[in-house]
Amino acid sequence: MDFGFKLSPSSAVNLDTVDRRRYDRLVQLEPDALTCIGCGSCSATCTAAPWSGMSVRKVILGLQRGRDDEVDAMLSRCMLCGKCTMVCPRGINTRHLILTLCRLDKNGEAVR
């Protein structure tokens, strides 16, 4: 019998199998990544966020969940204007964090 809907695939993440090397290396280089509280101030002030989907908190969460492809897509859309740095209540230099992350490959090794 067809009821007109179907179940969505699970979005559960098995954190025991996630490759967190890139996130761990980022935390080594930029300890401020640990102080992010995920408040969304960075996303709210970003001029391009409604069109680009860029969000520093989504980047950090994506790294913690091992979703490197999504993270790379968001990073490529960042214009590095620095507005997010000015409004961060924790004083995180998000611009520097993004630049550092762009220099790391999926294994956490420096590319440049």
Q: How far apart are CA 99 and CA 106, in angstroms?
A: 15
Evaluate whether residue 14 is within a structural domain. Answer: no
Burial of residue 51 (number of CB atoms within 10 Å: 0-12, 13-18, 19+): exposed
Higher pLDDT, 15 or 100: 100
pLDDT of residue 87: 94
pLDDT above 90 covers what percent of the chain?
48
Q: Using CA of residue 34, residue 43, residue 72, residue 94, what is the dihedral sign?
A: negative
Evaluate whether residue 71 is within a structural domain. Answer: yes
Evaluate whether residue 107 is within a structural domain. Answer: no
Evaluate whether residue 112 is within a structural domain. Answer: no
Evaluate whether residue 83 is within a structural domain. Answer: yes
Domain of residue 82, residue span = 21-102
Evaluate whether residue 11 is within a structural domain. Answer: no
**If you average pLDDT over every residue of the chain, what do you get?**
88
How many domains does the chain divide into? 1
Residue 53's domain is classified under what CATH number?
Answer: 1.10.1060.10
pLDDT above 70 covers what percent of the chain?
99
Evaluate whether residue 57 is within a structural domain. Answer: yes
Taking only the tens place, the pLDDT of each residue in 50-94 is 888 888 999 999 999 988 889 999 998 899 999 999 999 999 999
